[in-house]
Amino acid sequence: MTWPASEPELTEEQLRLATEEPPCWAAPARISVGACFICFPRGMPAAGPEGEPCWAGAAVVTAGHRVLLASASGFSRAPYRAGMLALREGPLLERAVRGLRRWPDVLLVNATGRDHPRRAGLALHLGAVLGLPTVGVTHRPLLAQGVWPPGARGDAAPLLLGGEPVGAWLRTRSGVRPLAVHAAWRTDVEIAIAVVLAASRGRVRTPNPLRHARRVARRARTAAQRRERGVGPSC
């Protein structure tokens, strides 16, 4: 399965993916959770152009809490367009995940899934390309709406799009802003909530695999930018 090369091709592929009904993922008793994250040069506008340098990180946390990391670098293949992130970010995220020595049982993606104009956001698309169950994790929904849940860890409230539950607001830590979690490839809302809670431990809001993936992407960016400036590696 290859990534579309244009917005019309992506739109067609998203509409096709939205109609597919792969079997829902059945989680094993002990799961390894992975994540991927992409970053761009500091100081650049959020709606960046085509051809921007970018760095992707991937991580998997095994059942024994061992962390495996991988990274990839390249250039964005398209400008930023809401609902079209797969054109811009998909291939590099795929490359980072494929760099992991061991794949996770399920992958967290910093993007939406069914919460999308065509019900097939980047989190869902990436899962279909990789053949991995995926869950989207973002700070806010794209189109879906819903009220925040109560303030305790584990409290959740549905995010609805056209009356359909496509995700949920989820408190991963008591007393802090909830995250938006998204049903994506081979996952529904209940599975998405369970996976994100299982991956969120300690005093941090962001699931641990996503924190590791974000960190490795940002470290790759820092190393590249230091090389450009002719600065040696930091201790």
Rounded Cα distance between 78 and 6, Å, is 9
**What are the C-alpha distances in Å from 152 to residues 159, 162, 188, 204?**
18, 28, 22, 14
36 touches 122 (CB < 8 A): no
* Terminal C-alpha separation, the chain: 41
Give the pair of three-digit tokens for residue 28: 């094993």
pLDDT digit string (tens) for the chain, length 235 residues: 789 999 999 999 999 999 999 999 998 888 999 999 999 998 766 678 999 999 999 999 987 678 999 999 999 999 999 999 999 999 999 999 999 999 999 999 999 999 999 999 999 999 999 999 999 999 999 999 999 999 999 999 999 999 999 999 999 999 999 999 999 999 999 999 999 999 998 788 999 999 999 999 999 999 998 888 886 554 3
Rounded Cα distance between 128 and 188, Å, is 15
| pTM of the predicted structure, to 2 decimals | 0.94
